[in-house]
Structure 1
């Protein structure tokens, strides 16, 4: 979390708040909260990530399940939803996440 805070230029407690608000995702690994580096850019949190996390949460996904979904390869994107969010396919990722709830 300190590395994320440093990269974003914000205090560590603000990073924890972003996780609580589901604007950023973190999972506990070996007792330590970790945030995938893919979700933090020079401009801040990856632009469409908070919306996708909200949709996944509404579909009943917990943090670990959401992270698994974001990093599961999907041949039709191609790549993973996480890669598509970094590209120009964020709308398609959101649409697919919304479909999970039905």
Structure 2
């Protein structure tokens, strides 16, 4: 879910991510450094869109999409905006499509941004 500004409605702080994934907070920091997860500062605190974590794992296709967006020159703020901008042709947002059979289409579109 998104609000009108292309932002997720629900955010999680890093300790919550660690608890959900059942890993130490240092491993969450490693996921961020390795580009397998994305976080941005909101009100001075690093936060992760809740939707990008599915149960006890990071969404399967998220790391690949993040790599493609970064290769296209997107910073983390821009990547979040792209992931949470409504796209009626998907439908919904790229972030919501990552959890279904439209994940390949999201990856294809992210890849096209680099050209």
Smaller-chain TM-score range?
A: over 0.9
2:74 equivalent to 1:61: yes
Q: CA RMSD in A?
A: 0.7
Normalization by structure 2: what TM-score?
0.87
Instruction: State the Cα distance separating 1:88 from its structure 2 match.
Output: 1.1
Equivalent position SS for 1:82: helix
Q: Secondary structure at the match of 2:31?
A: helix
Q: Offset at 1:43?
A: 3.8
Partner of 1:74: 87
Give the number of the structure whose residues are more often helix, by fraction: 1
Q: Is the 8 A contact 2:65 2:110 kept in 1?
A: yes
Larger RCO (CA under 8 A, 6+ residues apart): 2
For structure 2, the residue ranges without an aligned partner over 5 or more in a row are 1-13
Alignment-derived partner of residue 5 in structure 2: none
Counterpart in the other structure of 2:11: none
| Structure 1: stretches of 5+ with no match in the other structure | none
Measure the CA separation in 2 of the matches of 1:55 and 1:95.
9
Which of residues 41, 44, 64 in structure 2 aligns to 1:31? 44
**Structure 1 runs of 4+ with >4 Å offset:** none
Please give the secondary structure, in 1, of the residue aligned with 2:98: helix
Using the size of structure 1 for normalisation, the TM-score is 0.97
- Counterpart of 1:40 in structure 2 is 53
Partner of 2:111: 98
Count of aligned residue pairs for this structure pair: 102
